[in-house]
Amino acid sequence: MDIGRIAFLAAVLALLPTAGHAQGKKPGKNVHLYIISPADGATVKSPVTVVFGLRGMGITHAGDEFPNSGHHHLLIDVNTALSLTEAMPHNKNYIHYAAGQTEAQIDLPPGKHTLQLVLSDSKHYSFSPPVVSKQITITVK
């Protein structure tokens, strides 16, 4: 195989997504992710201020590769299992806080809603095992 083909093959392989490249990072020990506010079962007005809590790991920006750290994602009305092999979706139900935010104001329509936090690594993948908060239910009036 000539050097040109080897270089081309190496470039193609480097650009291919790899199943295990960014996934499966181990979280810290004794990690606890939780929603400080609002309380489970609370009745609130929109916009809702959600305050994130984390013990045992640090918060950093997405893209930063600091050990034992990650950034928050807020799942709104999501009842499906997390994927460890795909990056966290980015839509109205999966809100990314890539700047390292520890609280947010969200607009929600009236009715019952579920909220859950997920801590992700620098590339928006879940840790293995996943670091997730308890899912809470709130009512927006």
80-110 pLDDT per residue, tens: 887 878 888 899 999 999 999 999 999 999 9
Domain extent, residue 101, equals 3-140
Long-range Cβ contacts of 51-56 (<8 Å, 24+ apart) = 51/102, 51/103, 52/97, 52/101, 52/102, 52/103, 52/104, 52/117, 53/133, 54/102, 54/119, 55/30, 55/31, 56/27, 56/28, 56/29, 56/30, 56/31, 56/32
Report the pLDDT value the prediction gives residue 41, as an integer from 0 to 100: 98
Q: Count up the domains in the chain and report the number.
A: 1
**Stated pTM of the model:** 0.80
List the CATH number of the domain containing 97: 2.60.40.10
Residue 39 has pLDDT above 90, yes or no: yes
Which of 23, 124, 21, 128 minimizes the C-alpha distance to 70?
124
Longest dimension (CA), the chain: 69
